[in-house]
């Protein structure tokens, strides 16, 4: 079955340290992968996406993600975490559903940056 998974419910990191939020996928064909962030009581905001090309994708707020086809992963990274990065992060994939593209989200990872 085609799916996307976020194995960690929560990630804690100290301010200034590098952060990684993990995402793995299971799809047939070429995946279109996305990361979104959600702050409390708000909608989701787009961070970055991988469609094709360079495996390292740079996005908003200093975030980047690396597409790894052999490991079927698309981990979100940032070199130096800020307290303001604390939020809920969702990985998503566009899947072909009945001839149309449907977006499926992972279960979300809560990132807590500790001052």
Partner 1 sequence: KAGVTQTPRYLIKTRGQQVTLSCSPISGHRSVSWYQQTPGQGLQFLFEYFSETQRNKGNFPGRFSGRQFSNSRSEMNVSTLELGDSALYLCASTRDTNTGELFFGEGSRLTVL
List contacts with partner 1 (CB under 8 A): 32, 34, 36, 41-46, 49, 51, 90, 92, 94, 97-98, 100-108
Please, what is the minimum distance in Å from the beta carbon of residue 91 to partner 1?
11
- State which residue, 28 or 115, has the beta carbon closest to partner 1: 28
- State which residue, 39 or 62, has the beta carbon closest to partner 1: 39
- Beta carbons within 10 angstroms of residue 60's beta carbon: 11
- State which residue, 92 or 113, has the beta carbon closest to partner 1: 92
Taking CA atoms, 64 is separated from 2, 48, 91, in Å, by 24, 7, 13
Pairwise CA distance, residues 19 & 11, whole Å: 8
């Amino acid at each position: 079955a085609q799916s996307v998974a976020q194995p960690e419910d929560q990630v804690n990191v100290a301010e200034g340290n590098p952060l990684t939020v993990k995402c793995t996928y299971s799809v047939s064909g070429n995946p279109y992968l996305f990361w979104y962030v959600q702050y409390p009581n708000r909608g989701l905001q787009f961070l970055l996406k991988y469609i094709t090309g360079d495996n390292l994708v740079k996005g908003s707020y200093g975030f980047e993600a690396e597409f790894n086809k052999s490991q079927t992963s698309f981990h979100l990274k940032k070199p130096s975490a800020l307290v303001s990065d604390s939020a809920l992060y969702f990985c998503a994939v566009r899947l072909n559903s009945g001839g149309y593209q449907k977006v499926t989200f992972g279960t979300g990872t809560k990132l807590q940056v500790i001052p």
